[in-house]
A and B are shown apart, each in its own frame.
Chain A
Amino acid sequence: MTGLTTFLRFEVLRLLRNIRYVGITVGFPVVFYLLFLNDEHPAAQIAGTTWRTYFMVSMASFGAMVAALNASGTRLAAERASGWTRQLRVTPLPAWSYVSTKIVAAMVIVLPVIVLVEFTGFLLGGVRLGVGIWISLTVVLWVSSLPFASLGVLVGFVASSETAYPLVTALMFLLSFFGGLFNPVRSLPVVLRHVAVFLPTYHHAALGWAIVAGRAPDLVDIGVLLAYAILLGLAVTWRHRVEESRALA
């Protein structure tokens, strides 16, 4: 087990030291939150809560996705290209540990990002919630970010080191825009509303919107995210097998 924790620590530290990664991950959701606070109508209501609370959840969800996708996508593709993944295979680390560590490392970063956006909401957005709500919001958004972490790893396996970065960026914006993280889904054109219900981002944020409005999370949201987690997990396992069965150069 010491080998695994050593490797996990190494991965997390490398992420935290990457200024561009931290900048995108922390900067995007916080800056967007402050930009769209809607100071003219501070008491605007939406979906059973204030706009500022609702949008804080949207940005926490956005931040979680950005952190998870960027944690592995580009980096993993580059490490496959450089030969580092192969070098790791000739150490005592078990074969499955590379992928699982990437996913766990992404999850480790996701948690503080969610907390940071919530803190911004509390401090600068004037969001006030009960302690129980804060805690359940944080835990639910965190745990349900797993599909994003798997998606990042999958992109890293499928893409080359050149295509990974544009692919991650495109996914980030498509998933957040069409998932209703920037505009409420109701304000999107009808066609796009039908797209949103298929996206993990929409269901991820919906879990949080329900919690802050004092509602129980919708089983459909949980079901869709679970399905995404399972499908992406299987896809990652399959890609990893393919990669592993490849002979040496």
Chain B
Amino acid sequence: MRLHHGHPARSDEVARLAVCFRSVVHRYGSLVALDHLDLDVARGETLALLGPNGAGKSTAISILLGLQHHDEGTVTVLGTDPRSAMASGHVGAMLQVGGGSGLPNGVKVGELVAMVTRLYRNPAPVARTLGRAGLTQLAERQTQRLSGGQAQRVRFALAIAGDPELVFLDEPTVAMDVEGRRSFWSMMRDFAGEGRTVVFATHHLDEADAVADRIVVMRQGTVVANGPASAIKAAVPTRRLRFVLEEADQAALCDLDGVDVATVRGSEVVLDSFDADATLRALVRHGTSFRDIEITGAGLEQAFVALTGDLDEITTVDDAVAPRGSGASSENPT
């Protein structure tokens, strides 16, 4: 854990950090968007920022990029203030674009990347940026002829054109299909592997789990969990029991000791339990003829729900085990 509650940061400590928020407050009128937020990102780290809408992610990001001022506290990016960091060219960002491509029309991909590259003092060679973003074949294509996924890769190229030390990605894979997401993250991992700092916000929990060194979960303008994915999952007491049972009675399974949610799909049963030992004993006691049992820790998805109380916000990958609409759910202890 790297939380520092409101202590002023020492300068040598700040210099080692890529991003440092200390007790940052931001208000929109009477609404508190950031409530004494403390957040550190070490240099070279890949950090995922999770949280339901309205948790303050976007506000934190705007401040980090120097697009918005904060009301209280201190924000340091690469040892300086956010605007200077941006002007220095050591920060790159891929923002969310509503429905548009995020690109200007009437220009070829290669020309656009070359133009943005020249805005930086110590940029990466254009050919390398194009190669990294998988755009070498598309360099001669006009921007208005790109598909959604291709436009997103161009925006990624623009974010890394300046050879930045710190890259921020706001939901970078939002419009991509599964294959697109896979190749995007493999691209991103190579890039982060060169000692760069990457901060990304996502709704795909599997991406956070697979890519990030550390996950920060925000809720109501403050950090509610902070650590590697394994630590966040371990903090939630739920275990998942999965087995095969013919003619399962969902209501009866739900009444077993420790069971929070029982999901039955044909002969496959999934039980989310607060006390896996008690549940297993109860199954045996009742003489249930289960087979192929498997007990696993909570997924990131259950941890997220437990931490934020928000189910609608997340995108589940493993939709066969979506913990919705069954049994005595939603009273997860935190």
State A79–B100 Cα separation when bound (angstroms): 9
Task: Please count how many residues in chain A sit with their CB below 8 Å of the partner chain's CB atoms.
Answer: 28
Check B100 against A81 for contact (C-beta < 8 Å). Answer: yes
By secondary structure, the A interface counts as helix
Residue A87 interfacial (CB < 8 Å)? yes
Give residues of chain B (215-243) contacting chain A, Cβ–Cβ below 8 Å: none
Check B100 against A83 for contact (C-beta < 8 Å). Answer: yes
A-B pairs with beta carbons under 8 A, tally? 96
Check B87 against A92 for contact (C-beta < 8 Å). Answer: yes
Q: Shortest distance in angstroms between B203's beta carbon and chain A's nearest beta carbon?
A: 14
Selected contact of A3 from candidates B62, B65, B100, B118, CB within 8 Å: B118
Q: For A43, list chain B residues within 8 Å (CB).
A: none
Nearest residue, chain B, Cβ from A15: B106
Residue A219 interfacial (CB < 8 Å)? no
Residue B155 interfacial (CB < 8 Å)? yes
Q: For B89, list chain A residues within 8 Å (CB).
A: 92
Selected contact of B102 from candidates A84, A91, A244, A247, CB within 8 Å: A84
Interface string of B55-90 (1 = CB under 8 A from A): 000110110010110000000000000000011110
Q: Shortest distance in angstroms between B200's beta carbon and chain A's nearest beta carbon?
A: 14
Check B115 against A248 for contact (C-beta < 8 Å). Answer: no
Interface string of B115-156 (1 = CB under 8 A from A): 110111100000000000000000000000000000000010
Check B103 against A82 for contact (C-beta < 8 Å). Answer: yes
Q: For A90, list chain B residues within 8 Å (CB).
A: 65, 67, 86, 91-93, 95, 159
Q: Shortest distance in angstroms between B306's beta carbon and chain A's nearest beta carbon?
A: 28
Check A82 against B97 for contact (C-beta < 8 Å). Answer: yes
Check A248 against B97 for contact (C-beta < 8 Å). Answer: no
Residue A173 interfacial (CB < 8 Å)? no
Check A247 against B62 for contact (C-beta < 8 Å). Answer: yes
Check B115 against A7 for contact (C-beta < 8 Å). Answer: yes
Residue B158 interfacial (CB < 8 Å)? yes
Indicate whether A87 sits within 8 Å of B158 (C-beta atoms), given known contacts A6-B119, A248-B61, A249-B98: yes
Q: Shortest distance in angstroms between B28's beta carbon and chain A's nearest beta carbon?
A: 8
Indicate whether A82 sits within 8 Å of B119 (C-beta atoms), given known contacts A87-B95, A90-B65, A92-B162: no
Give residues of chain A (87-130) contacting chain B, Cβ–Cβ below 8 Å: 87, 89-94
Residue A41 interfacial (CB < 8 Å)? no
Nearest residue, chain A, Cβ from B168: A90
State A54–B102 Cα separation when bound (angstroms): 45
Check A248 against B119 for contact (C-beta < 8 Å). Answer: no
Check A248 against B96 for contact (C-beta < 8 Å). Answer: yes
Residue B107 interfacial (CB < 8 Å)? yes
Q: For A6, list chain B residues within 8 Å (CB).
A: 115, 118-119
Indicate whether A249 sits within 8 Å of B58 (C-beta atoms), given known contacts A82-B97, A82-B100: yes
Q: For A92, list chain B residues within 8 Å (CB).
A: 86-89, 119-121, 162
Q: For B301, list chain A residues within 8 Å (CB).
A: none
Check A86 against B115 for contact (C-beta < 8 Å). Answer: no
Check B155 against A87 for contact (C-beta < 8 Å). Answer: yes
Q: Shortest distance in angstroms between B231's beta carbon and chain A's nearest beta carbon?
A: 29
Q: For A36, list chain B residues within 8 Å (CB).
A: none
Q: For B58, list chain A residues within 8 Å (CB).
A: 247-249
Q: Shortest distance in angstroms between A17's beta carbon and chain B's nearest beta carbon?
A: 6
State A18–B68 Cα separation when bound (angstroms): 35
State A78–B155 Cα separation when bound (angstroms): 17
Can you give 28 A-B contacts (C-beta < 8 A)? A3-B118, A6-B119, A14-B104, A18-B106, A81-B99, A82-B100, A82-B101, A82-B102, A83-B95, A84-B104, A86-B102, A87-B103, A89-B67, A90-B67, A90-B91, A90-B93, A91-B86, A91-B116, A91-B120, A91-B158, A92-B89, A247-B67, A247-B68, A248-B59, A248-B62, A248-B67, A248-B96, A249-B96
Known: A86-B97, A92-B119. 8 other contacts (CB 8 A): A3-B119, A18-B106, A86-B95, A87-B102, A87-B155, A248-B62, A248-B96, A248-B170
